[in-house]
A and B are shown apart, each in its own frame.
Chain A
Amino acid sequence: MSRRNQPDRPTGRRNIVGPQSALTDFLASHNISANRIRLDAEARRRAAEASQEGQADQANGDTPAAEADHDTPMADADSPAPPPPTRSTRRNETTAQAAKRKKDQEKAIDKIKARKKSKKAQADSDDDDDPLTSLFEAVKATPLPGQMENCEICSKRFTVTPYSRAGPNGGLLCNPCGKELEKDAPKKKPAKKPTGGPTGRRRTVQSRILDGTYTLGAKSLMTLCIKTLVKNIDLADELGDLPPRVVDKIGREMSKLRLVDSKTLDLFLQSSTDEVKIYDAAKLTSDDLLRIFQQVPNLKHLKIKNAIQFKDEVMAYLLDRDIELKSLYLLGANLLSEEMWNHFLKEKGTSLQSFQVYFTDRYFGDSTLAMLPKHCPSLKRFKIRHIQNVTGAGVKSLAKVKSLEHLGLQLHHTVHPDIYVHVINEIGANLRTFSIQMALTADNTVLDALHAKCRALQKLRINDSEVMTDEGFVRLFADWANPGLRFLDLSKCRQLDSVRPRENPDGVGLCSNGFRALMEHSGKTLQHLNVHACRHISREAFEDVFGPDKTYPNLTELEISFCEEVNDFIVGSAFRSCPNLRKMNVFGCMKVKDVKVPRGRILVGVPNALGMVIDGDQGVSV
């Protein structure tokens, strides 16, 4: 155990060197050892203490003056700090300096004497061994509030209050003298704001719940390290040999705090890496984005969010370089012209496997989509969201991209359901992801096409359809040859009629039978289910699906907000039927009132002031 006291010197016995901080590396390259600096500092501190002791001894006449000149015994000649005064320097000092030094010495001696005296007094009082006496003495020394006392400075008689200040010699002061004294005293630092009070803590917890990062117990060591690192990111020169997933985590955390700028970008541009993911490029200039292609020659995967400055010149530079991207993800690259997009696909499309573009308004349109079948033979993943210029004609050309496995669309133009059917008929057999959002007009023919063609689908999302019917959903899920889905999102597939909101004679939207059929088909495999605002699922259907004999072992997230019939019993049954359920959303379920939540699970959106419940009193129920 005592080995821990040995100084951590590089012995040369072992040549294995563990991970070092960038600062340590930098210092080492200038032939400075961080460890040495630490040791020197300790040695200096020790020496200073020793010399003070020596001076005290000298005053007592015990030791000759020379003893006081302890040099730093362990400090080395190359120590950067000035050494304590030695005799040689003393010879040169002026009389004023000598006087000052003497004064300082005397002060130090007085201090030590006072300390010794008080120690002695303490020892004496301990000696008489009578707690009552010492108590009385203490009371005598500081008069209680309400008593009269003579002021220590002006000797006037005054009433002691809890606010009476102590004088320089330990006595109490009257109010005017106290104020006077306070004026002279240096201003105290403003008290540190107490952080994370009850309100702040609650807010933090709730924000973590909504982020989906809430767990009981301590944060992981990696999370703590990353948080510390990101807080001090300006000190880091490089991230060293961290694995890509850790670098990615650091990048996410930095983007969350909007810390990615021209300076910190370099941390992510290591020449050995093949992926660059920037989650917030809002502060980067076009030149910074150019630098990505200069400094990362092996770039294969590029993801930039808020890529506002990803302009034509950046894309032109990319086209000049010998970089074959496998995946490109751009969010908000609004300044890239349509010609440049087309040019990119023509030049670099062959290697492209994943192509995701989000939030552009004018320049990414049907002509670009029409390039895909010819120029992107290996495209597997194609997702576009909030693209204003793409219409049904563009979507139709996707039917010719035979390699597609993941398709996600959210368009502003209305697309006729026949186009979806055409796409599914052509490429549905290989599709693993099919996602259409804001698909107001998508109808049962789309569902029938999915039923007929899809055999490998894992993720299905159809949002906002106002014409699909319960019958259609039953037809989709009943005897579907596709294996169970992993992810299903049918939110807002419901009837909308402001005149007769409750009646739904045609069974528009996902209703009871469709819900039963989907859980029958995919319940065992589903991890994520979203039936947000499918208002016509009945209470009986929920009770059947989450009955006592049903279990859904894989389901971890359930979103049943705005399903009117959900009540306490259904929420409790759902927690029972889904043993691994982590989070359930019940916004707008007004019949949920006072539900028991198993420990560690999260229920969000309870219609009361609390809003979120994480911790019931049912204890561990796994």
Chain B
Amino acid sequence: MSAQNGTASTRKYVTLVSKEGFEFVVLREATLVSPAIRSMLDPERNFLEAQTGRCIFQDISGSVLEYVVQYMHYWYQYKDKEDVPDMDIPVDLCLEVLMAADFLRMDRNGVLVLLLGARLSVWRFVRDQEHHFTTA
């Protein structure tokens, strides 16, 4: 698997782990939709997650994380398209996915990320934007 090659910050895939230990290998670009995961994996900040490429979520169960990961790929697939069909969220898991979405700060659609190509500048830009939004 390509996750084994290169340093953790340059690998194409990252691993998200649920509280029961279920592992999801996700395209790094797709995880950018969550500002929380983005900052965990930011090579500049040098968190443990950035070094290992593994994010462990003690509060998110496997079934919920599955939908979060599904959303990440859905988001990545449609990231600059118009007329995007809505993804279905199962009704019984809805509240839990909502809590996970709040925890991962997936409340904006991450359009800012799309406007810029280079990843590092994306991080800085988004951080500045967030700062800007919170102070505004």
Whether B95 pairs with A240 at a CB distance below 8 angstroms is yes
* Interchain CA distance A614-B110 in the complex, whole Å: 18
Whether B94 pairs with A225 at a CB distance below 8 angstroms is yes
Given contacts A8-B62, A242-B99, contact A218 B84 (CB under 8 A): yes
User: With a CB–CB cut-off of 8 A, which chain A residues contact B81?
Assistant: 216-217
Give per-residue flags for B11-33: 1 if the beta carbon is below 8 A from chain A beta carbons, else 0: 00000000111110000000001
Chain A residues 184-226 with CB under 8 Å of chain B are: 201, 205, 215-226
Q: Does A393 contact B (CB under 8 A)?
A: no
Whether A19 pairs with B59 at a CB distance below 8 angstroms is yes
User: With a CB–CB cut-off of 8 A, which chain A residues contact B106?
Assistant: 220-222
Whether A221 pairs with B78 at a CB distance below 8 angstroms is no
Q: Does B108 contact A (CB under 8 A)?
A: yes
Residue of A21, A22, A226, A600 with most chain B CB atoms under a 10 A cut-off? A21
Whether A216 pairs with B80 at a CB distance below 8 angstroms is yes
Give per-residue flags for A209-249: 1 if the beta carbon is below 8 A from chain B beta carbons, else 0: 00000011111111111111100100110011111001000
* Interchain CA distance A226-B116 in the complex, whole Å: 29
Given contacts A220-B108, A225-B97, contact A18 B64 (CB under 8 A): yes
Give per-residue flags for B62-77: 1 if the beta carbon is below 8 A from chain A beta carbons, else 0: 1110001001001100
* Interchain CA distance A136-B71 in the complex, whole Å: 47
Given contacts A216-B114, A615-B82, contact A221 B62 (CB under 8 A): no
User: With a CB–CB cut-off of 8 A, which chain A residues contact B98?
Assistant: 222, 225-226, 229, 242, 246
User: With a CB–CB cut-off of 8 A, which chain B residues contact A225?
Assistant: 89, 94-95, 97-98, 101
Q: Does B40 contact A (CB under 8 A)?
A: no
* Interchain CA distance A4-B25 in the complex, whole Å: 13
Chain B residues 80-136 with CB under 8 Å of chain A are: 80-84, 86-89, 91-102, 104, 106-111, 114-116, 136
User: With a CB–CB cut-off of 8 A, which chain A residues contact B100?
Assistant: 19
* Interchain CA distance A223-B82 in the complex, whole Å: 17
Q: Does B38 contact A (CB under 8 A)?
A: no
Whether B87 pairs with A218 at a CB distance below 8 angstroms is yes
Q: Does A30 contact B (CB under 8 A)?
A: no
Whether A218 pairs with B96 at a CB distance below 8 angstroms is no
Give per-residue flags for A16-57: 1 if the beta carbon is below 8 A from chain B beta carbons, else 0: 101111111000000000100000000000000000000000
Whether B80 pairs with A217 at a CB distance below 8 angstroms is yes
Whether B94 pairs with A228 at a CB distance below 8 angstroms is yes
Whether B109 pairs with A219 at a CB distance below 8 angstroms is yes
* Interchain CA distance A74-B111 in the complex, whole Å: 48
* Interchain CA distance A20-B64 in the complex, whole Å: 10
Q: Does B60 contact A (CB under 8 A)?
A: yes
Chain A residues 258-287 with CB under 8 Å of chain B are: none
Q: For this complex, into which size category does the number of interface residues on chain A fall?
A: 35 or more
Q: Does A3 contact B (CB under 8 A)?
A: yes
Picked from A18, A222, A622, the residue with its CB within 8 Å of the CB of B59 is A18
Q: Does A138 contact B (CB under 8 A)?
A: no
Whether A215 pairs with B111 at a CB distance below 8 angstroms is yes
Whether B19 pairs with A16 at a CB distance below 8 angstroms is yes
Given contacts A16-B58, A19-B95, A242-B102, contact A227 B109 (CB under 8 A): no
Q: Does A154 contact B (CB under 8 A)?
A: no
Closest to B58 in A: A16
Q: Does A620 contact B (CB under 8 A)?
A: yes
Residue of A217, A240, A620 with most chain B CB atoms under a 10 A cut-off? A217
Give per-residue flags for B26-65: 1 if the beta carbon is below 8 A from chain A beta carbons, else 0: 0000000100000000000000000000000011111110
Q: Does A14 contact B (CB under 8 A)?
A: yes
Whether A18 pairs with B61 at a CB distance below 8 angstroms is yes
CB B111 to nearest CB in A, in angstroms, measures 5
User: With a CB–CB cut-off of 8 A, which chain A residues contact B91?
Assistant: 228, 232, 235
CB A614 to nearest CB in B, in angstroms, measures 8
User: With a CB–CB cut-off of 8 A, which chain A residues contact B23?
Assistant: 1, 3
* Interchain CA distance A240-B106 in the complex, whole Å: 19
Whether A218 pairs with B60 at a CB distance below 8 angstroms is no
Residue of A21, A224, A620 with most chain B CB atoms under a 10 A cut-off? A224
Chain A residues 137-186 with CB under 8 Å of chain B are: none
Given contacts A16-B59, A227-B86, A232-B91, contact A221 B22 (CB under 8 A): no
User: With a CB–CB cut-off of 8 A, which chain A residues contact B115?
Assistant: 600, 620, 622
Given contacts A246-B98, A622-B116, contact A218 B74 (CB under 8 A): yes
Closest to B85 in A: A196
Picked from B64, B102, B109, the residue with its CB within 8 Å of the CB of A243 is B102
Whether A4 pairs with B22 at a CB distance below 8 angstroms is yes
Whether B92 pairs with A21 at a CB distance below 8 angstroms is yes
Chain A residues 569-599 with CB under 8 Å of chain B are: none
Whether B94 pairs with A232 at a CB distance below 8 angstroms is yes
* Interchain CA distance A215-B101 in the complex, whole Å: 19
Whether B82 pairs with A18 at a CB distance below 8 angstroms is no
CB A167 to nearest CB in B, in angstroms, measures 39
Whether A218 pairs with B102 at a CB distance below 8 angstroms is no
* Interchain CA distance A205-B81 in the complex, whole Å: 13
User: With a CB–CB cut-off of 8 A, which chain A residues contact B61?
Assistant: 8, 18
User: With a CB–CB cut-off of 8 A, which chain B residues contact A228?
Assistant: 88-89, 91, 94
* Interchain CA distance A604-B65 in the complex, whole Å: 39
Picked from B60, B62, B80, B83, the residue with its CB within 8 Å of the CB of A205 is B83
Closest to B72 in A: A221
User: With a CB–CB cut-off of 8 A, which chain A residues contact B110?
Assistant: 217, 220
Closest to B113 in A: A217
CB B92 to nearest CB in A, in angstroms, measures 6
Whether B71 pairs with A19 at a CB distance below 8 angstroms is no
User: With a CB–CB cut-off of 8 A, which chain B residues contact A24?
Assistant: 92
Chain A residues 112-126 with CB under 8 Å of chain B are: none
Residue of A1, A3, A4, A615 with most chain B CB atoms under a 10 A cut-off? A4
Residue of A19, A216, A243, A246 with most chain B CB atoms under a 10 A cut-off? A19
Closest to B109 in A: A220
* Interchain CA distance A13-B20 in the complex, whole Å: 10
User: With a CB–CB cut-off of 8 A, which chain A residues contact B86?
Assistant: 219, 224, 227
Given contacts A215-B109, A217-B79, A218-B75, contact A239 B95 (CB under 8 A): yes
Whether A21 pairs with B109 at a CB distance below 8 angstroms is no
* Interchain CA distance A554-B87 in the complex, whole Å: 33
24 pairs, CB–CB < 8 Å, chain A vs chain B: A3-B21, A3-B22, A4-B22, A4-B62, A8-B61, A8-B63, A18-B61, A18-B64, A19-B100, A21-B94, A21-B96, A217-B79, A217-B81, A218-B74, A218-B84, A219-B109, A221-B106, A222-B98, A222-B102, A224-B86, A225-B95, A228-B89, A240-B95, A242-B99
Given A217-B81, A220-B106, A615-B82, 7 new contacts (CB under 8 A): A8-B62, A19-B100, A216-B79, A217-B80, A225-B89, A229-B95, A620-B115
Query: Which 4 pairs from chain A and chain B are nearest by CB?
Result: A225-B98, A19-B99, A221-B106, A222-B107
